[in-house]
């Protein structure tokens, strides 16, 4: 039962100051700028400082989103942080953000859905707003992935970057509205396809150190195929579910994992590639942060404008996926 509309009232983003180019990587691992650009579209990425935690990036992105929404932190009812690189296993990164921004009236928790985490978080926020329970929910995607990268592994080290993006989801508006979403998961494929094995209950400390389990490992080919299939599928599902067609879509903001995955999805969907926002060249794959960072940049560049019908779509480890249809 929908009592209210929900809409995106604020967007924020934050990138750490240290940057690493493909040329820098050439000195660290057996790779070339040409290979990385042609296979992924990535040119550079940002790296969090040693003492900089995921909550630090999340805090800065949140303050920028809250300011954009024109509200004060006290008006936030709930904080959701999507991340697979939390500050700690316990307590949550979201409670740290709550403290940092002084959101004294907010509940706070993390969710783990890898690169789909931001879409999952947005769908939760949407529920609390449309059922009338809450007025403002802060949804953050934040990652410090480079702390978990094996810099000697060229299969993964060239792909990831750090950053945070945040949105405020609020009640009612003059026309802007979250229309709906599609979420999915499939835990059947091998976990080894995309895994950060250390830190959980399966691998205690001594095993982590012995087996290099505190690094991301990935079967790039399988994840590539999964991405190329699931991105068009979840977009088609959400667009049809709400009675629209692909022609109605002004802008697609996909998870930024690989430019070639986005290009292949555009062909399958028969949506011109110009309607896909791509900024992977600047940031690499920032997992849960990639979609809100892209939303922030797209708006700054006047590519995302008020009244646009947009689709956000993500996929990632788990396997998980999700899409969100929005009138911005
Ligand atoms: N530099 C130079 N050469 C490389 C590199 C590198 N960084 N990495 C691999 N190669 C080599 C390989 O060794 C291989 O050499 P060979 O032919 O002599 O064996 C050759 O390049 C081709 O390797 P492929 O793995 O076939 O390259 P591919 O075109 O599949 O690209 C990539 C690899 C970029 C990883 C791609 O498979 C991909 O993007 N996969 C999806 C990754 C992804 O989206 N992950 C994140 C999901 S989201 C989340 O939840 C975190």
Contact status, residue 298 vs residue 277, Cβ threshold 8 Å: yes
142 and 156 share one domain: yes
Neighbours of 51 (CB within 10 A): 6
Whether the ω angle into residue 91 lies within 30 degrees of 0, i.e. cis, is: yes
23 and 132 share one domain: yes
Q: Evaluate: CB of 287 within 6 angstroms of ligand 1.
A: yes
Residues 159-176, mean pLDDT to the nearest whole number: 95
Specify the number of domains making up the chain.
Answer: 2
- Better-predicted residue by pLDDT, 261 or 209: 261
| Whole-number pLDDT of residue 2 | 63
Q: Evaluate: CB of 227 within 6 angstroms of ligand 1.
A: yes
Q: Which of 5, 22, 115, 258 is catalytic?
A: 115
CATH number, domain of 283, equals 3.40.47.10
Separation between Cα atoms, residue 225 and residue 232, nearest integer Å: 12
Q: Whose CA is nearest to atom 26 of ligand 1?
A: 221
169 and 241 share one domain: no
232 and 318 share one domain: yes
Whether 255 is a known active-site residue: answer yes
Q: Evaluate: CB of 203 within 6 angstroms of ligand 1.
A: no
List all residues 6 or more positions away from 273 whose beta carbon is below 8 Å from its beta carbon: 262, 263, 266
- 83 assigned to some structural domain: yes
Whether 126 is a known active-site residue: answer no
59 and 168 share one domain: yes
pLDDT band at 191 (very low <50, low <70, confident <90, very high): very high
183 and 154 share one domain: no
Q: Which of 22, 136, 258, 285 is catalytic?
A: 285
Separation between Cα atoms, residue 12 and residue 58, nearest integer Å: 10
- 203 assigned to some structural domain: no
Under DSSP, the state recorded for 52 is: -
The model carries a pTM of 0.96
pLDDT tens, 18-74? Answer: 999 999 999 999 999 999 999 999 999 999 999 999 999 999 999 999 999 999 999
Length of the chain: 328
Residues of the domain holding 268? 179-187+216-327
Tell how far the Cα of 219 is from the centroid of ligand 1, in angstroms: 8
- 211 assigned to some structural domain: no
163 and 236 share one domain: no
Under DSSP, the state recorded for 122 is: H
160 and 74 share one domain: yes
Residue 40 CA: which ligand 1 atom is closest? 34
């Amino acid at each position: 039962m929908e009592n209210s509309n929900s809409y995106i009232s604020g967007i924020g983003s934050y990138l750490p100051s240290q940057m690493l180019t493909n040329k820098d990587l050439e000195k660290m691992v057996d790779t070339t700028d040409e290979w990385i650009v042609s296979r992924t579209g990535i040119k550079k990425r940002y790296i969090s400082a040693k003492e900089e935690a995921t909550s630090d990036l999340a805090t800065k992105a949140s303050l920028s989103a809250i300011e954009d929404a024109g509200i004060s932190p006290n008006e936030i009812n709930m904080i959701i942080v999507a991340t697979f690189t939390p500050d700690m296993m316990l307590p949550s990164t979201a409670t740290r953000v709550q403290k940092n921004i002084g959101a004294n009236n907010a509940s706070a928790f993390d969710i783990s859905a890898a690169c789909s985490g931001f879409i999952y978080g947005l769908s939760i926020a949407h529920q609390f707003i449309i059922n009338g329970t809450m007025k403002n929910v802060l949804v953050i995607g934040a990652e410090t992935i480079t702390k978990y990268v094996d810099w000697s592994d060229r299969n993964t080290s060239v792909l990831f970057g750090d950053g945070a993006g945040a949105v405020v989801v609020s009640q009612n508006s003059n026309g802007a509205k979250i229309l709906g979403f599609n979420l999915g998961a499939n835990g059947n494929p091998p976990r080894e396809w995309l895994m950060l094995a250390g830190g959980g209950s399966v691998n205690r400390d001594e095993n982590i150190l012995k087996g290099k389990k505190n690094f991301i490992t990935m079967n790039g080919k399988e994840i590539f195929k999964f991405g190329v299939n699931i991105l068009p599928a979840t977009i088609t599902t959400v667009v049809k579910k709400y009675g629209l067609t692909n022609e109605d879509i002004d802008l697609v903001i996909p998870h930024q994992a690989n430019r070639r995955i986005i290009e292949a999805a555009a062909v399958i969907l028969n949506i011109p590639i110009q309607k896909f926002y791509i900024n992977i060249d600047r940031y690499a794959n920032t997992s849960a942060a990639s979609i809100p960072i892209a939303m922030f940049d797209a708006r700054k560049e006047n590519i995302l404008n008020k009244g646009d019908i947009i689709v956000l779509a993500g996929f990632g480890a788990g396997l998980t996926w999700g899409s969100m249809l929005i009138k911005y």
